[in-house]
Structures are given as structure tokens and as C-alpha cells.
Amino acid sequence: MNRNRASEVEPGHRLHPFYSHFLFLLRSVAFAIFGTVLVAHSQSVPPPDPQLNAASAQMRAFEKALQTDRSDAAARKNEVDAAVRFSLAEKREHREQAALWLLLRARYWVPDDPDLLADLGVQEDYLKLFVDADKALAEALRIRPNDLNTLYTVARVKMDLGQMQAAEQAWLSYIKQDPTNPAAYYGYGIVLQTLGRDDEACSQFMLSIKENPNQAESYYRLGEISRREGNKADARTQYEQALARNSTHGGALTGLAILNYEEKKYDEAESELEAAIKSVPAYRTARYYHGLTLSKLGRKNEAEAELARAMQLSDKNELQRQLVTQPYRPD
């Protein structure tokens, strides 16, 4: 399995060793995750779900063996394999919390499997349980230091937590072991850009493009830096390079529109902003400049309505989610 303060679900820290107590806690965890009142009996699970029912049926046999002998290698492996397999099935059906529940269940019985912990960290990160994800990944690295997949996810989670210095160290550790992954250079570039080290960030974006020329996100980031620095010609070229690789990239379309707005090319700006909004309806910057552009075109009522929409949107909007959760492995 690869992809605010968390409500901390730490069942392993509080469990009595007897199986009945474990089932009681699983019901409590399920209640916390799903917000659903469960039937109070020993076989209770989250809301009806064929995948969960099948998973419970299989995992119960492995857990019975582990109740007798926690070191049973076959039972440990089967428990983890079943949890991961059924968790992936839940994710395919967009039941993300059920996927998490399965991984938490397996972690109680097999608390020291680094692959399971890494998968758990990925899922918790996806659900924005960043503190929990950070803990799971730290334990995975303690058990298996320098694992590339875990380091990669650690870097992402540190970014989500806003711990940019720690994220920088994680990216550097990753790149030292795998200097050919364009996504790592991109992720490190985002960290450097956030820290205000734009020259270094540009170097990392260029390295990501060198490793994979189809890096729309890296070209977009270069365009943003160039535009902020007043290098409009470079910014235009870089936005166009991004759009050549992803014709619906909302950020690049908006960047071009801003350049055209500043050059009083309002008709072109309007066309680009409409395309950006179609691609990313909740992108505040696109809505804002669309309102300004409509005003310049004399369409006062439309402009006021669009500016009002822009003001209603949160800064943490859809474009930011796209540019944070996806581009760590840009196409």
C-alpha cells in the first residue's frame, strides 16, 4: 500500500492480553473511527461490510493461534497479509476508515512488522492522522532503518506536520540512497521553497526534470518562483512547459492568466481562468483573478459574484490538496 491533530488511536498500549478484552477494545476503536454505535457482543465490527466480514473470518483463525503463541511465524505472516490484502480491497471501494481499522487490528497482534507499520503510516497520513502516521513510521524505521519506502513516506508526513527541517533530512537520506527518483527531488524542492530557499529549490526541480522530463509540477513550481521574482518571460515559458505536459493544470493556467492580466490581455486571461476553474473549481486564486478580470471587462455583476466566491474559499483548497498529496510522484 503506497498514500490538525490526530485523534490518537493506540490500542496496543492499553490492552489486556486476553482475547475478549481485545475484542472489546476493537469495538471501541471502531466506534471512534466510524462514529457508529455497534452491537455489544464479542463479534462486533464496524458497519456491515462484506470485505470486513470476510477479513474477520480469516484473521480470527490467525489471531487464535497468536493468542497461544505470539511468535508463531506463519500466523504472524498470515495476519499481516490478510490485513493488507483486505485493506487494499477496502481502499478500492473508497472505504478508507475500514482499511485503517484492519491495519490497526493487525498491528495489535503483530506490532513489530515494519511493512505493516509503513502501510499503517501511509493510511493514517491519507486520513490526515499525521501524528499517528509519524509514530507508526518512526517505529517502522526503528525496526528497519533506512528503508526507502518508509523514508519516502516519513518525508511526506513531516511536510504534512509542517516539520520542514525534519522533512529536509528525510529527503536527503532518501536521495542519498536513491539519487534517480525524480519525485524525491520534487518533494525536497517543495520543502526548500517553503523554507524560502528558492535558488536551492529551483536546483531540485531541475534535477527532477532531468530524471523525468514529464514533470509538469516541477515546471509549474519553477514558473511560480520566476513570476514572484519578476522574471515574467521565464515564468511564461515554464507555465507553458507545464501545460504541454498537463493541459488542465490549474496552477499553470492561473499563472499564465495572471501574467496576461498584468499585461492587460484580459480576454486571454479570462479564457485561461475559466479553464483553470473548470479543472479546479475550489482554487481561490483563480476565482479571485477571474473576478478582477471580469471587472476589467465591464461585467460588474459577474465580477462581484466571483469575488464573493473567492472570499468564501479556504486557503487550504482543492488545488493545494492536489499539489501536496499527488505531486510527490508527479507524472
Give the integer Cα–Cα distance in Å for 157 and 140.
14
124-174: per-residue pLDDT in tens?
Answer: 999 999 999 999 999 999 999 999 999 999 999 999 999 999 999 999 999
Percent of the chain clearing pLDDT 90 (strictly above): 75
Same domain, 218 and 308: yes
Q: Does 155 reside within a domain? A: no
- Residue 230 is predicted with a pLDDT of 95
**Which range among 38-42, 198-202, 208-212 shows the weakest confidence by mean pLDDT?**
38-42
pLDDT at 47: 52
- Which pLDDT score, from 0 to 100, does residue 262 have? 96
Residue 255's domain is classified under what CATH number? 1.25.40.10
Task: Give, in degrees to the nearest 5, the angle at Cα 47 between 41 and 51.
Answer: 105
- Asked if 139 and 225 sit in the same domain, the reply is no
Provide the grid cell at 303.
465580477
Q: Is residue 26 part of a domain?
A: yes
Q: How far is residue 86 from each of residues 55, 72, 104, 132, 167, measured CA to CA in Å?
A: 6, 21, 13, 21, 31
Residue ending a domain, choose from 125, 144, 163: 144
124 and 24 belong to one structural domain: yes
Write down the pTM of the prediction.
Answer: 0.75
Task: Tell me the C-alpha distance between 19 and 168, whole Å.
Answer: 42
| Mean pLDDT of the region 19-35 | 41
**13 pLDDT exceeds 70?**
no
Residue 26's CB is within 10 A of a number of other CB atoms, namely: 22
Q: Is residue 133 a part of any domain in this protein?
A: yes
Residue 330 lies in a domain: no
Number of folded domains that form the chain = 2
Where a domain ends, among 144, 173, 195?
A: 144
Q: Which grid coordinates belong to 216?
A: 509538469
Q: Return the C-alpha torsion angle 49, 132, 156, 51, nearest 10.
A: -10
Range of the domain at 131: 11-144
Quick check: is 137 in a domain?
A: yes
Q: Is residue 57 part of a domain?
A: yes
Radius of gyration of the chain (CA): 24
Residues with Cβ within 8 Å of 207's Cβ and at least 6 positions away in sequence, in order, are 182, 185
How far is residue 235's CA from residue 256's CA, in Å, rounded to a whole number? Answer: 8
> Buried b / exposed e across 93-106, counting CB within 10 Å, b at 16+?
eebeebbbbbbbbb
pLDDT band for 90, please (50, 70, 90 cuts). very high
Confidence grade of residue 12 (pLDDT, cut at 50, 70, 90):
very low
Residues 133 and 25 in one domain: yes
> DSSP label at 179?
T
Q: How far is the C-alpha of 276 from the C-alpha of 24, rounded, in Å?
A: 50
Q: Do 139 and 19 fall into the same domain?
A: yes
Residues 36 and 137 in one domain: yes
pLDDT at 50: 75
Domain assignment present for residue 284? The answer is yes
Whether 20 and 140 share a structural domain:
yes
Residue 33 lies in a domain: yes
DSSP, collapsed to helix, strand or coil, labels residue 228 as helix
- Interaxial angle between packed helices 182-194 and 148-160, expressed in degrees from 0 to 180 and rounded to the nearest 10: 30
Which residue, of 144, 161, 176, is where some domain finishes?
Answer: 144
Residue 83 has pLDDT above 80, yes or no: yes
22 shares its domain with 119: yes
